[in-house]
Amino acid sequence: MSSNDLIEQAKEVLDRNKKEAWTSPSPVYYRHQWLWDTAFIAIGISNYNPQQAARELLSLKRGQWQNGMLPHVIFATRFHDMLKGPLFWQWRKSKLSSKKTVTSAITQPPMVAIAAAKVAKELKGEPKIQFLKQVLPMLESYHRWVYRERNPEGSGLIVVIHPWETGLDNTPAWAELLKQMPRPWWVRFLNKSGLFEIVMRQRKGAKMLDPDERTNNLEIMQAARLILRFRAQAYVNKAIFSSKPVATESLAFNSILIKANSCLIELAEQINYQLPQDLLENFNKTKEALNTLWDEDTKQYYSRDFSTKKLIKTPSITTFLPLFSEGIGKDRAEKLVKNLLDKKKYWTKFPVPTVPLDSPYFNQKRFWQGPVWINTNWMITRGLEHYGYQEEAKQIVEESINLVQNSGFCEYFSPLTGEGLGVKSFSWSAALLIDLLSSDGS
C-alpha cells in the first residue's frame, strides 16, 4: 500500500471517531475525551486540516478547572461506567473544578503545548493569531497549575500522584508502588473470589478485549483506591501531599513537560504574550533537575519514588523520553541510544517495546508492559532526530508503518510478532502515523 493510501485510511479512522469539536480515542471503548490523546490527534490532523486541529485543542478549554488543571478525561455523558465514570470521580467535590463540564480529577502528560506549537506552525495569517490568542491563556494557566500544585518541594521535578497521570497506566515503576501498597481485606477478597473480574467484564466494551492484554485487576483496584482517597480529600493537592501519598517524580511527565515548556515560550513569542518570570525560572529548574533522575551504574534514567526519594530502578521505555525533552547532553543521549539498539532489550523485530525483553515485567501483550505503542515510537523518533540519529529514527518509522500496514490502526502491537492488540481503529495510532509519514516531521 502506498503512503498516500495509508494516510487516506488514517483520515477515515479519525473522521469516524470524531464526536463534536473533539475526537474520541475509540468510540466503541473509550467514548470520552482524553487529554493527551487530544494532543496527539491534533498533531496528526494539523497536517491536513489545521483549523480542525485548532478546534480539537481549544475544545479542552471547556473542561479546564478553575485552578488551571486540564483533567485527564472530559466525560461525554454524565452517567456512564460506574467504575471509572463521572459517578465514581465526583469532580464537584473540588471547589475549584470545572463549573459545568463533567471531568475526572487528575491530569495526564502535558502534551498540549507541544501540539499547539505544531498546529500554530501549520496555521497561517489571521486564524493563526486568533488561535494563539485563545490557546495561550489556557496553556499558561495549566503550566502555572502544574508548578503551583505539583511541585511541593520546589525542586522543579513535577510529582504525579496517580499511575494514569503518566499516561502509561501500568508502567513498571507504578506497578512496583501499587504492589507495595497495603491490601485491605476487601481488596484481597474481591481479587481472590473473582468478583472484581466479573464486575469488570460487565463494563461496556470490555468483552471485546482480552483481560491478559490489560492492566491486571489488583493494579486497577489499587489505582481506584487512590482516587477514593483523593476524593475524600476534596482533590486538594496540599491535603494529598501532607498525607504521605503514593507518588513519583515521573520521568515521562517531566520529560514531556520540558519540551512543552519550550513550546509554550516559542508560542508566546509569536504574539508578544508575556509569561511570568517565576514560571520561566521554574522551567529552567525542571530542565536541570531532570539530570538527577540519571543512574550512572546502569546508565539510564528512572522515575523517583516521592516518599523514599529513591530511584525506582525498574527499566522501561520512559528512559528514552529525555531525548524527546531535548534538554539533555549529547553524551547521555549517546548512552541512551546504545541501550535502545541492544537486541536483548529494546531493538526487537518491531521496536520499541515499552519494557525491555530482559525485564521480569516483559509481556508482549500486556498494555504498557511490553507492547509497542505508536505514541512512544513517535516521541522517541522525534528525540532521535533532534540528537542526530536520523538512521535509527528512520528504522523506527519504517517498522511503525509496517505494524499498521499489517495489523491495522490498533491500540498497541506485539514487539515480537507485530500482532495488533487492544482496540482497533485507535485514533492516535492513525493521527501519529499521518505525522510520521509527512515529510518534514513536526
Write the burial class of residue 359 (CB in 10 Å: 0-12 exposed, 13-18 middle, 19+ buried): middle
b/e per residue 426-442 (b: at least 16 CB within 10 A): bbbbbbbbbbbbeeeeb
Closer to ligand GLC by Cβ: residue 387 or 412: 412
- For ligand GLC (CB under 6 A), the number of binding residues is 7
Question: Least distance to ligand GLC from the beta carbon of 296, Å?
Answer: 31
**By C-alpha distance, which of 230, 245, 267 is closest to 72?**
230
Q: How many residues are present in the chain?
A: 442
Q: Give the whole-angstrom CA distance, residue 209 versus residue 214.
A: 8
Are the CB atoms for 275 and 139 separated by under 8 Å? no
Question: Least distance to ligand GLC from the beta carbon of 245, Å?
Answer: 21
Closer to ligand GLC by Cβ: residue 86 or 167: 167
Question: Least distance to ligand GLC from the beta carbon of 353, Å?
Answer: 16
Backbone angles phi, psi at 86, to 5 degrees: -55, -35
Question: Least distance to ligand GLC from the beta carbon of 169, Å?
Answer: 4
Q: Give the whole-angstrom CA distance, residue 104 versus residue 71.
A: 6
Q: Which residues, numbered 78-137, are part of the site for ligand GLC (CB under 6 A)? A: none
Closer to ligand GLC by Cβ: residue 350 or 412: 412
Closer to ligand GLC by Cβ: residue 294 or 378: 378
Closer to ligand GLC by Cβ: residue 156 or 420: 420
Closer to ligand GLC by Cβ: residue 120 or 256: 256
Closer to ligand GLC by Cβ: residue 141 or 369: 369
Give how far the C-alpha of residue 258 lies from the chain's centroid of Cα atoms, to the nearest Å.
14
Question: Least distance to ligand GLC from the beta carbon of 195, Å?
Answer: 23
- Long-range pairs, 270-274, Cβ under 8 A, ≥24: 270/120, 270/132, 271/129, 271/132, 271/133, 271/136, 273/132, 273/136, 273/140
The answer to the question of residue 169 lying near ligand GLC (CB under 6 A) is yes
Cell of 213: 492484554
Question: Least distance to ligand GLC from the beta carbon of 209, Å?
Answer: 11
Closer to ligand GLC by Cβ: residue 34 or 301: 34
Q: Which amino acid is at 264?
A: L
How far CA 175 is from CA of 180, 220, 372, in Å, comes to 9, 10, 18
DSSP tag of 249: E
Closer to ligand GLC by Cβ: residue 23 or 282: 23
Question: Least distance to ligand GLC from the beta carbon of 439, Å?
Answer: 27
Are the CB atoms for 160 and 150 separated by under 8 Å? yes
Question: Least distance to ligand GLC from the beta carbon of 37, Å?
Answer: 5
- State how beta strands 304-305 and 300-301 pair: unpaired
Q: Which residue is nearest to ligand GLC (CB)?
A: 25
Interface pattern 9-48 for ligand GLC (x via CB under 6 A): ----------------x----x---x-xx-----------
Question: Least distance to ligand GLC from the beta carbon of 299, Å?
Answer: 27
| Contacts with ligand GLC, residue ranges (CB under 6 A) | 25, 30, 34, 36-37, 167, 169
